[in-house]
A and B are shown apart, each in its own frame.
Chain A
Amino acid sequence: MTPVILLTDGYIANGSAPWKIKSIDDMPEIKNNIIKEKKPNWHPYDRDEKTLARTWAIPGTPGLEHRIGGLEKDKVTGNVSYVPENHEYMTKIRAEKIKRVENCIPEIKPEYAQEGDLLVIGWGGTYGTLHSAVKQLYDEYGYKNVGYAHFNYINPLPKNTKELLSKYKKILVCELNNGQFANVLRMNFTGIEFLQFNKIQGLPFGNTELVQKFKQLID
C-alpha cells in the first residue's frame, strides 16, 4: 500500500482513442492489508517481509487504537520518535518499500530492434509520434538497428532497465520538456550516456524532425 502519483500531460488529456471497457469481473482484485482483530504482539508499524507494507487497522477495530501522522514514527510502535538512528532507518525503509514496487510492475520490453545502434526512449503522451517515427525508420527506410522503449513507470523504473540500456550503442531520450526523465535516468545509471531531444514549444513532436534526428545519430 503506497500512494501512486499518476503523471499525465496535455497530449493525453486532449487526445482520444477507442478502448475496450473491461467488466469488473475481469479486473484484478484489489487486496488490502486490513487487520480485523487484535493479534498478540501486533504493532502498528509491523511490515510485511516481502513488500514492506504495513498492516492497516481502521478506526472501529477494538484493541488496535493507534495514531498516525506526519511526524517521524518509531519503526515498531508507531509512536512519535525523535531518535536520529530511527529516522535514518525509516527513511531508508520507505525508499526500499518503493523500490520493491518494481516486483509488481512489468519489465520494459522494447519495440523494433531488441538491440542495436540506437534506443529511442519516451514516456507519457509522446508514444504515438515516437512510435510512428521509429516504425517508419525501421519498416520503410530499413533501419533494423533502431529500437523504441516507452516507459510507463518512472519511479521505480522497471527492474530490467539497466539490461535494456546495455544493448544499444546510443540512447536518445525524447521529451517535451527540458530533459527531466533523462536526468532521472542519469541519476539511476551513472556511466551511461543519455542523449537528449527536447521540445518545449507547447507542440507535440513532428514526425519529420524525429526521423531526421534519429537518422543523424545512426548515419
Chain B
Amino acid sequence: METTAVKQYTFKDFASDQEVRWCPGCDDYVILRSMQKALPEMGLKKEDVVFISGIGCSSRFPYYMDTYGMHGIHGRAPAIATGVKLANPKLSVWVITGDGDAMAIGGNHFIHVIRRNLDLNIVLFNNEIYGLTKGQFSPTSLVGQKTKSSPYGNTQPPFQPGELAIGSQARFFARIGGNNPKDMTDIFIEAEKFKGTSLIEVLQNCVIFNDGCYTKYTDKDVKEDQQIFLEHGKPMIFGKNRDKGLVLNGLKLEVVTIGENGITQEDLLVHNAKEKDPTLHQMLVRLQYPLATGIIRSYDDVTLEEREDALTAQVKSNSKFRKTDDLFFSGETYEIR
C-alpha cells in the first residue's frame, strides 16, 4: 500500500446514499455498520477499496458502501475478486458472500480461492438458510431443520465453513456472532492487515426465515458461557465467571473448570493462531461447546501474488520472448511464398 497521507475518514464516508433493503432486524445491518466503522481504521484510501459480491441477501452489501463495488454472479465473486486483485494488487478487495453463495453455488470458487491464498478478505454471512429466495435449506442448514424445501426436516449434514476452509488450507479464519459489532469491527481490521486470504464467518441471524438459529450461542444471557472468544497468545478461558477453559485430553478438546480437580489457569491451552499445523484450529472450529469465536487461525504464508510476481520476474529474465510478436512467430510456423 502507498505510504502517502491518507485522508482521515469516518464511517459516514463509506456509507452510500442508497436505501438499505434488508429486513428490519437483520444482522446484515450490524455487519454493514461494523465494516463502515472498521474501514476508517485501516488507513486505506477510499478509492482503493472494492467490495465484490455474488447473489443473495448478503450480496446487496456493495450497493450500501460508498466504494467501488460489483454485485457479481452467483457463487463467482471469488473469481471476479481474483481478477480485480491481480490486475491491481494495491487494492483492498473484499468478497461478500452467504452460505449458499459460497458453499453451494460457488463451492468450487470458494475452496480454490482459499487454497491459492490471494491477499483478499471474504466475509461469509452464514444464516443457515436461503433467505432471498424465501427459505430453502442451504449447505449449512442443520439436520432436521424444517424449511420450505425440507418440510419434514433436512436430511443433509451441514458444512462447517471453518472446517471446509481449513481443509482447503485457509491461513486465516475467524468466526463472530452477528450481534457482536465491536469484536466484528476488530476482526475486519485484523483481516485487512493479514496478508493472504482471510475468511470471516459471521453467524448471522435471519429474522424472517431462520430466526433464532444462533440464540443458544449469541444471546446476551448465554454467550459468555456458550462461546469462547479466542485471542492469540491468551489462555483458552471462558464463562461468565471466567472459570472454564479448554485442555487437550488425548486427541480431544475437553472443557475443565478452574479450581476443580486441581485445575489452574496454567493448565489451560494457550491459543496460538499463528501455528502452521491446523490440527488444533480444526478441533476448535468443530467444537460445539463452547463455540469458538474470534480469530481461530492466522498463519502467515506466501501469497498467490508473491508467487506470481516471483515467477513473472524469473520468466522475464530467462525468456526468449521479449515482445508479443516473438511469441506469435515462434514454434512451428511456415510461410507460403
Residues of A within 8 A of B (CB): 18, 21-25, 58-71, 79-80
Residues of B within 8 Å of A64, CB to CB, are 47
A63–B47 contact, CB under 8 A?
A: yes
A24–B328 contact, CB under 8 A?
A: yes
Residues of B within 8 Å of A80, CB to CB, are 18, 63
- Sample 12 A-B pairs with CB under 8 A, ordered by A number: A18-B334, A24-B328, A61-B47, A63-B47, A65-B66, A65-B67, A69-B70, A69-B72, A70-B55, A79-B17, A79-B63, A80-B63
CB contact list, B47-88 vs A, under 8 A: 47-48, 50, 53, 55, 62-63, 65-73, 84, 88
Interface size classification for chain B? 20 to 34
A59 with B71, Cβ < 8 A, contacts A21-B328, A21-B333, A24-B328 known = no
Residue B149 at the A interface, CB < 8 A? no
Residues of B within 8 Å of A18, CB to CB, are 334, 336
* In the complex, per-residue mask of B301-312: 1 if CB is within 8 Å of any chain A CB, else 0: 000000000000
Residues of B within 8 Å of A66, CB to CB, are 68-69
B324–A24 contact, CB under 8 A?
A: yes
Residues of A within 8 Å of B48, CB to CB, are 59-60
Residues of B within 8 Å of A60, CB to CB, are 47-48, 68, 88, 90-91
Which chain A residue has the least Cβ–Cβ distance from B19?
A: A80
Residue B325 at the A interface, CB < 8 A? yes
Residue B152 at the A interface, CB < 8 A? no
Residue B271 at the A interface, CB < 8 A? no
Give the CA-CA distance A69 to B63 in the complex, in Å: 9
A70 with B68, Cβ < 8 A, contacts A63-B47, A64-B47, A80-B18 known = no
Give the CA-CA distance A62 to B7 in the complex, in Å: 12
* In the complex, per-residue mask of B88-130: 1 if CB is within 8 Å of any chain A CB, else 0: 1011000000000000000000000000000000000000000
